[in-house]
Amino acid sequence: MQTLITFLLILGFVSPCLCVRWSVRTQNKTYNVKDYGAHGDGKADDSGAFLSAWKDTCGSYQTPTLVIPPNGVFLLKGITLSGPCIATSVNIQLQGSIVAPVKNEWLKVLGMKDPIQDPNQDLTDERFNLILISNVSSLSVDGSGGGSINGYGSTWWDCRNCERPTILRFKFCNDLTVSNLNITNSPKAHIRMNSCENATFSNISIHSPGDRPNTDGIDILASKNILIQDSTMQCGDDCIAISGGSSHINATGIACGPGHGISIGSLGRNKAYDTVEEVYVKNCTFTNTENGARIKTVPGGSGYVRNIIFENITVVQAQNPIIIDQYYESRKPMNGALNVSDVIFRGFSGSSAKENAINLNCSSSGCFDIVLDHIDIVSSPPGKPACCSCNNAHGTATDTVPYCSLLS
């Protein structure tokens, strides 16, 4: 009996401690970059503070949140947020503004020369991204509350053929959610994902001048099960570019323009084997874009593009509203081309800035099972009706204006 009483007394003293420890261990934890020394004045380099805060965030046992607070401008000079993390899910709350350094400051950090002076140097360093997030699963990045990133690309754009940095890159990130972000003026691509699975991007706003080179909105490479929705993209290249190794890509509710439209490709460059399949683009608008719905492959490549649907698309003075170009980057005949098949263009309406509203320019091996259905595109130039150009394309055209008589 005495033993039992002693045990109960000990348990009474210990239990509150256990409860406190359990509470601490299971509560969500926040890590504010300002608590790690970030200045947020737009002048001092806050890279070190971000990396220290990320180290604790990624190492937390709880469901941690890395906080970039409002009313701050945080200068970064190329950081990598690496996983895998201990927590099963991680949040990044971007409420303030992140800015990139000008070109010369960025290159100084990397120990590089100006690409104009030395175009042959190796620029593959992973720090050649403003923010690279790698090997982090179940990550949520939320810019609610005014979160923004400015890439200050104007200091890079004069060198049109130079390699230039990407602003936000995800690599080997699965079960990813990115929402409510405002990204402007990237030196090159605004967002890029490599080898990611199960990602959703929503309410993304991307803005850069329409004449700036290679400033893609979102690049998708070797990734699958990707959803991009309800977003606005104004840029100097593809609003969305879907590259080799990608499948099950959905884009819906995208307002693109200026830009080069939503493109599959380019594929097959340098005689590569590339594949893209199961792409669904729906309820999108292309305004004053160079292209609308585009598939582009390079002669000499191999592989396939198949099971593609562009549906319910509005074009406003797009130069090439519907285009398949299997001679991208080269007009010379070459052996080999990607197989393009099972492509549906359905429910297009609006205007073309050129007479040639539909351009199906396939290789000598042909494109097959191409469907044009309920297309109504008129030519913007007065007195010049829209037309269709067809080369080695095989399929059907139903209720299509302009009519494609050569689509066999």
**Residue 32: its pLDDT value, please?**
98
Q: What angle do CA 39, 41, 44 make, to 5 degrees?
A: 65
For residues 345 and 293, the answer to whether their CB atoms sit within 8 Å is: yes
**Residue 288: its pLDDT value, please?**
97
Distances in whole angstroms, Cα of residue 109 to Cα of each of 70, 113, 159, 174, 390: 27, 10, 20, 30, 51
Residue 286: exposed, middle, or buried by beta-carbon count in 10 A (0-12, 13-18, 19+)? buried
Nearest to 280 by CA among 257, 313, 315, 248: 248
Instruction: List pLDDT tens digits, range 370-392.
Output: 999 999 999 988 778 999 999 99
Report the C-alpha dihedral over residues 291, 295, 297, 301, rounded to 10 degrees. Answer: 170
| SS3 call for 56 | helix
Residue 190 annotated to the active site: no
The catalytic position among 207, 260, 374, 394 is: 260
**Residue 145: its pLDDT value, please?**
85
Global pTM reads: 0.91
Strand stretches in 73-128, DSSP E = 73-75, 79-82, 90-94, 97-99
Q: In which residue ranges of the chain is pLDDT below 70?
A: 1-27, 113-127, 331-334, 408
**Residue 19: its pLDDT value, please?**
36
CB atoms under 10 Å from CB of 19, counted, come to: 10
**Residue 13: its pLDDT value, please?**
40
